[in-house]
Structure formats: structure tokens, C-alpha cells
Amino acid sequence: MPDMQGLVNELIDKLKKRRVKGSLETPLQTAELLRSVISVQKLPPTNKAAALINAVRDVGEKLIAANPVELSVGNVIRRVLHIIREEDLSPSSDEAGDNEEEITWLRDNTAPYVAEIIRPPLLHMLHTFSSAEEKSKSYIFGRSRKLKHDVIEAINMLIEDVNICYELIAEQAVEHIHHNETILTLGWSRTVLEFLLAAKDKKRSFHVFVAEGAPRCHGHALAQELVGRGLKTTVIADASVFAMISRVNMVIVGVHAVMANGGVIAPVGMDMVALAAQKFAVPVVVVAGIHKLRPLYPENPEVSLNDMRSPSELLELGKFSDCMDFGSVDGAPLVHVANPVFDYVPPELVSLVITDIGGHKPSYIYRLIADYYSSQDYVRYGRDALFKL
């Protein structure tokens, strides 16, 4: 049997030290850990689903606290909680058959004791009730195993969905990218890369402008991948987006999360790009897997969490040593450097959200969230209420 606490602590340590991150590895490792937690969980005779939910919540709180800005961790935890609730409320035909057999067995074996004219020996009654208790225990154990089995199978499907989301999204590229178009994107996104390459493989010829996504400039890596696959690509500075946007037919971007109102949390600089696109009536298309849907609204306290990176990405500290001197009267530095990672883009700036189950308007996202999450697991009153019923 695996050391479950050791596995949990290992993933917590990875999240704290940022050794696991990204829209693929983070949800996959979270789902695999929860699958292991459920597989070793011993269920009580009653309230089996509640026991699984509590076990997932206990682990989930620790994982989310380890790195709150990795929103996909909370998404996967809520998906698993929804799976448990769904499997508990939707018994299979096998379980229904077991119920019928149990009712028949109880009727046949308890009839002698409800009939007033039959009074069997006490020893016979004890033997019969002992058999009933054993059968009841066997039935309860069977149902526990059945619930765990169904939940684990559903988590396996979730893991498979995360693994193939890029391919499912890329299959839709030919419906949105046409011949001789000009596409603009920002920074690095594997989903965008697969989407553009799928259109190219379908013999679409188009030009891609890649905003570099300063200060990390991950757009250079995306441009290199596209050029290596034979796509005509131009890297532009973020500041030149407004000057170039009038030549663009469509903006296609990958995001960190899609909120319940259809807004998105995207790489920093994306709000500027979306505002420029709105000015010139250029559609903004977001590509994101279902596991990035976040059942929260922008006004929720968790949404304000941003990943603030080191000032060294923006300036060389040696050249600003005088400004960073703590010798001022109040002991504070003269220069404060803010280096956020994400922007929030409101839904009115987003034209379409393409997921692995199809394209949807931002106004429809809340309906998708209702299909994949349970309202009991939404955050309503801050982070402390994350897993309260």
C-alpha cells in the first residue's frame, strides 16, 4: 500500500517550490493524487460518499494552500467532488439488481417472523438473523467497492480528457482559421501552438503576429516553434500591438483560467491586446480546456490573487542600487517594482471561448460550469469557505 501521506506531502512540496506548474502537469498530478487517495480510503457502512468527499476536501485544502495561484488545482478538486456526488446519486443497473435481490431475500427470510401463526425455535431465529447480518455486511462492502470503482473510473476519464484536450481543441482550428488570414497571439501557449499547427496541416496559409509577452518574452519560443513548422511568423513588441492590430483578422490566445462570467485570466498584457482589438472590431478567440473553467466570479476574493514575480525580470538591480537603498528616513526603498503575471480580461472583450467540447460564447460559460461542478463546492465567502457545504 502506498504511503499516502508521503505522496500528499510530495505534491505539496512541489507546488510550494514551483516544481510543478502549467495547465497540463498540474491538473494531471492533482487528479492522480486524488485517485490514489480515494483508492485507499476505507468507507463506513453509511454515508460512503460523504466519507470520500471529506477525504478529498482534507487533501484539497492543503494542495490549494500550497500554491493558490495554480487555479487548476482547485478546478480538479471541485471536479472530483462533483464526480463523487454524481456517482452517489446515480446508482447503476447492477446496484438496482442487488437491491431487488436483497428485498426478495429479506421478504423470504423475515416472513416467518411477521406471521403470527408461526413461532420457530429461538436457535433457528438466531441463525437466520446471523445470516441476514452477514449478507447485509457483504452488500454494504460491495456497494462501497462499487462506489469507489465508479469514482476512480470517472477520474480516469478526467485524466484522459486533460491529456487529449489539445488535440480536441486543435481539431476545430479549420473552422475558424481561413486562407490568407492574419492572426495575432501573445506569449507562449501550447494550446495556441497546436491550434495554429492544426490549421496549417489542413493546408491553410496564414500569417501569425506574435507579441513577445514582456518581460518574460515567451512569445519568442512560440515564434520559433511556428517558424520551425513552416508558418510565416513575425515577432512584435507588446507596445506595437495597437499599431498592428488593424492588419489582423483575429486574435487567438491561451489563458490561465476562464471565469464563471466568461471573463478570462490571461498572461499580463492581454487586456491591452483585447482593448486594441475591440477598438478595431477584431474578434478575440480564447482556446482553453474544460479543466480551466473556474466556478468563480471576478468579485470573489480568490480572483484577486496574482503571481508577483521577481523585480529582476524588469531591471538589473546593480544599476538601481541607489534607488533600492533602504537608507531613507522610514527605511523603505525608493523604487517599488510590480511584476504581475496575469491580467483579467472582462467577458465583453472576448468573442468566443473554444474548449475541447466546442466553441461557446462567454455568456454560456456559467451553463458549462453547472455541468462540471456542484454548487456546494463553489467559493462563496472567501477562501475559508472553499470546502464548506
Classify 132 as helix, strand or coil.
helix
pLDDT at position 302:
62
Alpha carbon 111 to its chain centroid, in Å, reads: 53
Alpha-carbon dihedral angle through residues 64, 194, 252, 289, given to the nearest 10 degrees: -30
233 in Cβ contact with 226 (< 8 Å): yes
CB 351 within 8 A of CB 285: yes
Report whether 186 contacts 273 (CB < 8 A): yes
C-alpha 22/C-alpha 14 separation (Å) is 12
Cell 478567440, residue located:
285
What are 42-59's pLDDT values in tens digits?
Answer: 888 888 899 999 999 999
Taking residues 368-385, report their average pLDDT. 72
Evaluate if residue 113 carries a pLDDT over 90: no
Q: Would you say residue 125 has pLDDT above 70?
A: no
Q: Are strands 342-345 and 264-267 parallel, antiparallel or unpaired?
A: antiparallel
What helix, strand, coil percent values describe the chain, rounded to 5? 55, 10, 35
Q: What is the largest CA-CA distance in the chain?
A: 102
Higher pLDDT, 91 or 368: 368
Which pLDDT belongs to residue 314?
80
> 324-337: per-residue pLDDT in tens?
555 556 666 667 78
Return the pLDDT at 296. 85
pLDDT score at 89: 81
- Report which residue type is found at 82: H
Of residues 138 and 259, the one with the higher pLDDT is: 259
User: Has residue 7 got a pLDDT over 90?
Assistant: yes
Give the span between the Cα atoms of 146 and 161, in whole angstroms: 23
DSSP state of 214: T
Beta bridge partners of 344: 265
Look at residues 295, 39, 266, 71 and name the one whose alpha carbon lies nearest to residue 63: 71
Predicted confidence at residue 95, as pLDDT, reads: 46
Residue 138: per-residue pLDDT: 46
Residue range 81-95: mean pLDDT, rounded: 75
Mean pLDDT for the chain overall: 83
CA distances from 362 to 129, 262, 351, 377, 378 (A): 60, 4, 7, 22, 19
Burial status of residue 276 (CB atoms within 10 A of its CB: 0-12, 13-18, 19 or more): buried
Cell numbers 480516469 correspond to: 156
pLDDT at 2 (0 to 100): 62
269 has a pLDDT exceeding 80: yes
Residue 289 · residue 162 · CB < 8 Å? yes
Query: Average pLDDT, stretch 182-199?
Result: 95
Q: Which three cell numbers stand for residue 63?
A: 494542495
The runs of H, that is alpha helices, within 90-212 are: 93-114, 122-170, 190-201
Among 4-18, 110-124, 208-222, 319-333, the range scoring the smallest mean pLDDT is: 110-124
Using one digit for the tens of pLDDT, what is the confidence trace for 272-317? 999 999 999 999 999 999 999 998 888 776 666 688 888 778 877 6
Residue 383 has a pLDDT of: 44
pLDDT (0 to 100) of residue 336: 76
Report the phi/psi class of residue 275: left, alpha or beta, with left for phi > 0 and alpha for psi in -120 to 50. alpha
Instruction: Give the C-alpha separation, 314 to 216, whole Å.
Output: 9
**Grid cell of 329 as nine digits:** 528616513
Instruction: Please report the pLDDT score of residue 3 as a whole number.
Output: 80
Over residues 238-266, the pLDDT tens digits come to 999 999 999 999 999 999 999 999 999 99
Q: How far apart are CA 28 and CA 318, in angstroms?
A: 40
- CA nearest to 105, candidates 82, 80, 136: 136
* Percentage with pLDDT > 70 across the chain: 76
Picking from 270, 304, 268, 330, the residue whose alpha carbon sits closest to that of residue 382 is 304
Q: What is the pLDDT of residue 380?
A: 44
Prior bond to 2 cis, omega within 30? no
Higher-confidence residue of 66 and 300: namely 66
Q: Which residue has the higher pLDDT, 104 or 318?
A: 318
Q: How far is CA 219 from the centre of its chain?
A: 24
Of 14-28, 85-99, 177-191, which range is least confident? 85-99
pLDDT of residue 362: 96
